[in-house]
Amino acid sequence: MKNTATLLINCPDRKGLVAAIANFLYTYDANILHADQHQDETENRFLMRVEWDLADFKLDMDAFGAAFQPIADRFSMEWHLKLSQRKFRMAIFVSKYDHCLVDLLQRWQSGELWCDIPLIISNHEDCRRHADFYGIPFHVIEVNRENKAEAEARQMALLQEHGVNLIVLARYMQVLSPAFTAAYPYRVINIHHSFLPAFDGAKPYHRAHARGVKLIGATGHYVTEILDDGPIIEQGVIRASHRDTVEDLIQKGRDLERVVLSRSLRWHLDHRILVCGNKTVIFD
């Protein structure tokens, strides 16, 4: 199991940034494993991800903040430090479809997804047996037009109770309220079953079929207040033809959804994503 630190930086672009950061890390003898940076011309921002081995790093991580803050202040940095041994605590939201859930759980158990999964929340009983098989508590909270606010309050109480800091919507067929999404900024990942911005909203496969597109897609994105409008993390497509019925598209799409969702999630778990404006920078 690796023992590394990852520093994510987002600040106005200025000269001397890389030198300042590199010197700081070199002072404490960091063995840099990966470093990536990006200058966003539109926003004039500098974004950086640097990961180093903690084995022979000469600074105690508890003291990192105090040591680094002067540099951060000098360059007006937003920064986050992530330790590989501190796992995300992830909740999965699911409805009736189980293909993304089963895929995520198999990947998680095989070690491909590095996180704790303290609970799964659903508005239906259907997927409980999968949660049981993988030994994860399963909470059913029914959601309907009347009880939505109350249901979300119960969900958020559970999330808080379990220290959840990442939520994956694995084909959860409910729209989250602005209050909910505001509580988890860039902490809710959804899989939408179209290549956004085409076919946002409901029934994308039906609409793709009606339009006669020759490619269907899936999009992993952060959930924001506006439906299907958050920063896009990853997209994939697969060919369609006149022979495909709506059911065929739905079935083909499931293959995409699994792959695109799990890839989006893995990048988040590896601290590879920075958000800049309404876009993502993926340091893969």
Q: Is 133 in the site for its own copies (CB under 8 A)?
A: yes
Q: Is 32 in the site for its own copies (CB under 8 A)?
A: yes
Catalytic residue of the set 228, 229, 244, 248: 228
Distance between CA atoms of 66 and 147, rounded to whole angstroms? 46
Q: Is 3 in the site for its own copies (CB under 8 A)?
A: no
- Could you check whether the bond before residue 197 is cis, i.e. omega within 30 degrees of 0? yes
Instruction: Let me know: does 245 contact 197? Beta carbons within 8 Å.
Output: no
| Residue 188 or 216 with smaller CB distance to its own copies | 216
Candidate ranges 61-69, 157-165, 177-185, 247-255; the one touching its own copies (CB under 8 A): 247-255
| Residue 61 or 210 with smaller CB distance to its own copies | 210
Count of residues that interact with its own copies, criterion CB under 8 A = 69
Applying CB under 8 A, among 18, 140, 182, 226 the residue interacting with its own copies is 18
Distance between CA atoms of 158 and 75, rounded to whole angstroms? 38
Residue indicated by tokens 């041994």: 85
Q: Is 135 in the site for its own copies (CB under 8 A)?
A: no
Distance between CA atoms of 27 and 119, rounded to whole angstroms? 42
Residues 53-92 that bind its own copies (CB under 8 A): none
Residue indicated by tokens 């030994």: 135
Residue indicated by tokens 């508590």: 137
Tokens of 229: 């409008």
Tokens of 39: 């200058």
Distance between CA atoms of 180 and 188, rounded to whole angstroms? 10
Applying CB under 8 A, among 66, 73, 110, 145 the residue interacting with its own copies is 110
Candidate ranges 80-88, 141-149, 174-182, 211-219; the one touching its own copies (CB under 8 A): 211-219
| Residue 78 or 150 with smaller CB distance to its own copies | 78
Residues 184-203 that bind its own copies (CB under 8 A): 195-199
Distance between CA atoms of 94 and 147, rounded to whole angstroms? 18
| Residue 80 or 239 with smaller CB distance to its own copies | 239
Q: Is 8 in the site for its own copies (CB under 8 A)?
A: no
Instruction: Let me know: does 282 contact 40? Beta carbons within 8 Å.
Output: no
Residue 171 exposure: Cα atoms within 13 Å on the Cβ side: 25
The contacts found for 181-185 with CB under 8 angstroms, 24 or more apart, are 181/223, 181/224, 181/225, 182/225, 183/156, 184/223
Residue indicated by tokens 């902490």: 187
| Residue 15 or 145 with smaller CB distance to its own copies | 15
Query: Known catalytic residue: 228?
Result: yes
Q: Is 206 in the site for its own copies (CB under 8 A)?
A: no
Q: Which residues bind its own copies (CB under 8 A)?
A: 15-16, 18-19, 22-23, 25-26, 29-41, 98-99, 102-103, 106-107, 110, 112, 129, 133, 195-199, 211-215, 217, 231-237, 239, 241-243, 245, 251, 254-255, 258-259, 262-263, 276-282, 284
Active site residues: 228
